[in-house]
Structure 1
């Protein structure tokens, strides 16, 4: 059962957008899919429950019948770094809860399980612990979403370097165009294709979902 951890070169680079696209494409291809957002910050209280928009998108594009709590077991209201939100709430982010949530979804035998991080690769959980530590323990292959904007070259290469230094395999990277008029977009993309130490999985142009045949090929590759 293929499982991947989707990380980004920074916050707000489109991790959820890309993860949702992949889950939806695989679901429409008849695959059993589920998304997992173990830690989130920036939630609304709806009917007495914390609801995170990113987790809701993963839930909406998963084909397995799971709940918001199963997709997002650890959630905080303020849109700030999760470990700071946890400190303010007087709680600790539990690594065991994160791992248990993953194993629970894995036990459903999905054809594709996507675990999405928060922020970038080295997300603090508090007490000098990081979400990347848990990804290491679960031995997940990593997909990097590169938010295409000024500074993305440095951020992408450093992220890839950190993932590899942690001993994990990068399944590949996806370029997500964040602005329609990024200066020298094509040249930046070509530089990343030449220098990223991992396969180029695809490009998501600004506000445009890739063609169905492109997504079908990618999701088939991810589900193998």
Structure 2
């Protein structure tokens, strides 16, 4: 059981989470408890990230089990919750989890929303819930200009919150980034935990699993 967070909103959490799920095989399970930016369909609100996790998971659940809290507006979830008059709290999240399926999974990944210190309301943040669950954390670093600061700050915040940061994944989101390898070498030297994998910029994100096989094996062994 792991919680997947990112250095910011577009770091590629879903791409990496889905890739790890595919690499882990038939007993993998991905969850996206909170999603903003959903499309209203005949079946209800649907979020593209949650749908990708469903497709990549070996264990198949209903949409509502994978993404129980969905907002149509593509804005910060606590603002979307306030506008829709469905406030978010730490206390309401755990009962929404598909506990039986999570216990069955050989690898269960719970994907966060946005970056690490995501507000749920004006008093609570998502990390407070992760603290209650005591889940180890995987950090997806969107490798682009500015990623060094974002990665080091996020790693420090996760550890200061008393959670175990077990590793990070470098995900190249800017195909034309200057000094890419130098930036990667800097992160490998300065981050407080090991790099689990490095994923280059991909024209087809579905192929991320090809670069995450060893990381998935490591997570399955823990």
TM-score of the alignment, normalized to the shorter chain, above 0.5: yes
> Paired residue for 2:38?
43
Tell me if 1:188 matches 2:186.
Answer: no
Q: Please give the per-residue CA displacement for 1:9-68, whole angstroms capped at 9, x wherever unaligned.
A: 0001100000000001112xxx41111101110001111411000000001111112011
CA distance in 2, matches of 1:123, 1:216: 29
Root-mean-square deviation (CA), in Å?
1.5
Provide the residue aligned with 2:166 in structure 1: 171
Counterpart CA distance in 2 for 1:86 and 1:101 is 16
Aligned residue number for residue 98 of structure 1: 93
The yes-or-no answer on 1:134 pairing with 2:129 is yes
Query: What is the aligned residue count?
Result: 218
Distance in 2 of aligned mates of 1:45 and 1:108: 31
CA deviations on 1:94-141 (whole Å, 9 max, x unpaired) are 423321233525554200100001110000000310111001110000
Distance 1:197 1:187 in 2: 18
Give the Cα separation in 2 of the matches to 1:177 and 1:152.
10
Q: 1:155: which partner in 2?
A: 150
1:44-59 to structure 2, matched below 5 A, reads: 44-59=39-54
CA distance in 1, matches of 2:30, 2:146: 29
Q: Which residue of 1 aligns with 2:10?
A: 12
Q: How far did residue 217 of structure 1 move?
A: 2.1
The alignment's TM-score, normalised by the length of structure 2, stands at 0.93
d(CA) in 2 for partners of 1:36, 1:155 = 24
With structure 1 as the length reference, what TM-score do the two structures score?
A: 0.92
Distance (whole Å) between structure 2 residues aligned to residue 34 and residue 104 of structure 1 = 11
CA contact (8 A) 2:29 2:102 kept: no
